[in-house]
């Protein structure tokens, strides 16, 4: 008789709220496509239960898990170590069990972004304008800097967060950065190569919200990237398309950060097309 293994490898997500998080759909699609005996469990975990949730994952031998809002920073104290970029970013979205059983925090948000962007343009030597200075912006800025962006102009509504991120880029990465306060229509410098929205502007349900940019300054040779994954086609990307710019949507970023996570856990490079199809069926059913 054939020896059957009924013990699957476990992964999942801890977040609150968890109901709208589509990661489970795309990760399980990849597991199934590659016939991996792996599971991904979407868990709603409140801040006061985060510590126990991580202990539970350890106790059950989970191979790893994702953390999303509001746990990306809080989870760090429950882990055994951090990867290099997660350490600089100061936030973790992917936890990986090492060969010795340690739980190491990584951040794949920025790397997923860079991988998606690289399908359209080479970040090396680029001049970047980055809108936003929150968690997503930090991850994107740090990884863009390590991917070879030369200069990043951080544009943010609140000065404090914007200046903090600018300082972080200058002190901890190979890139230079300047801060610009965002009040009114922001004029893009003429030498800009890549324009990035890492704010929550345009995120469902505020799907008609547009960034305050002086659109006369957006030229067709600039690449525009939006971190918003729902909906994938935002007002920013629609304007970019009208101007003849190449663009990257947040769904591509989400898929690639998920694929990097799966690679950490399983060692397998999954077919991102399968993950993309799974998400597209959810967000653009028509
Ligand atoms: P944060 O709350 O940490 O940061 C939000 C940022 O948006 C801040 O810079 C904030 O500015 C700015 N902002 C929000 N509303 C406005 C507004 N009306 N006008 C000007 N600025 C505004 O959020 P995150 O960084 O965690 O997430 C940002 C977005 O990135 C989310 O929509 C999220 O869905 C997306 N994301 C996408 C991922 C993907 O894989 N596609 C991964 C992670 C995040 P201020 O400092 O002034 O408040």
Return phi, psi of residue 14, to 5°: -115, 120
Render each residue's pLDDT in the chain as its tens digit; 286 residues. 678 889 999 999 999 999 988 999 999 999 999 999 999 999 999 999 999 999 999 999 999 999 999 999 999 999 999 999 999 999 999 999 999 999 999 999 999 999 999 999 999 999 999 999 999 999 999 999 999 999 999 999 999 999 999 999 999 999 999 999 999 999 999 999 999 999 999 998 999 999 999 999 999 999 999 999 989 999 999 999 999 999 999 999 999 999 999 999 999 999 999 999 999 888 765 5
The confidence score (pLDDT) of residue 285 equals 59
* Domains of the chain with CATH codes: 9-107+252-283 (3.40.50.10860), 110-248 (3.40.50.720)
Beta bridge partner(s), residue 5: none
> Which atom of ligand 1 has the smallest separation from the CA of 182?
20
**The two three-digit tokens of residue 121, written as one number:** 């343009």
SS3 260: helix
Q: Which of 70, 90, 135, 200 has the most ligand 1 atoms within 8 A of CB, as the residue to mutate? A: 200
The confidence score (pLDDT) of residue 71 equals 96
Q: Which of 114, 136, 229, 253 has the most ligand 1 atoms within 8 A of CB, as the residue to mutate? A: 136
Residue nearest to ligand 1 atom 29, measured at CA: 200
The confidence score (pLDDT) of residue 3 equals 81
Give CA torsion, residues 182, 185, 190, 194, to 10 deg: 60
Asked casually if ipTM beats, i.e. exceeds, 0.90, the reply is yes
H helices of 78-190, where? 84-89, 109-118, 135-146, 159-172
The confidence score (pLDDT) of residue 282 equals 84
Residue nearest to ligand 1 atom 23, measured at CA: 134
């Amino acid at each position: 008789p054939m020896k059957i293994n009924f013990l699957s490898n476990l992964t999942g997500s801890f977040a609150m709220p968890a109901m709208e998080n589509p990661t489970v759909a795309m990760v399980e699609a990849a597991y199934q496509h590659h016939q991996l005996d792996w599971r991904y469990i979407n868990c709603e975990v409140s801040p006061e239960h985060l510590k126990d949730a991580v202990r539970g994952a350890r106790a059950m031998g989970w191979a790893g898990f994702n953390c999303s809002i509001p746990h990306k920073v809080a989870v760090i104290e429950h882990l055994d170590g951090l990867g290099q970029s997660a350490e600089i970013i100061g936030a973790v979205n992917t936890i990986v069990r090492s060969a010795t059983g340690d739980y190491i925090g990584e951040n794949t948000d920025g790397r997923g972004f860079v991988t998606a962007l690289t399908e359209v343009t080479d970040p090396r030597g680029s001049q970047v304008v980055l809108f936003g200075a929150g968690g997503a912006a930090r991850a994107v800025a740090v990884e863009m800097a390590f991917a070879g962006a030369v200069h990043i102009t951080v544009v943010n509504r609140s000065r404090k967060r914007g200046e903090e991120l600018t300082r972080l880029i200058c002190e901890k990465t190979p890139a230079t950065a300047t801060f610009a306060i965002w009040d009114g229509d922001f004029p893009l410098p003429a030498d800009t190569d890549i324009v990035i929205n890492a704010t929550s502007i345009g995120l469902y349900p505020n799907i008609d919200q547009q960034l305050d940019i002086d659109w006369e300054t957006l030229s067709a040779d600039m690449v525009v990237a939006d971190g918003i994954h729902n909906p994938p086609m935002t007002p920013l990307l629609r304007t970019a398309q009208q101007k003849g710019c190449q663009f990257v949507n947040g769904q591509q970023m989400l898929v690639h950060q998920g694929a990097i996570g799966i690679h950490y856990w399983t060692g397998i490079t999954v077919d991102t097309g399968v993950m993309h199809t799974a998400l597209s069926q959810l967000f653009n059913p028509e």
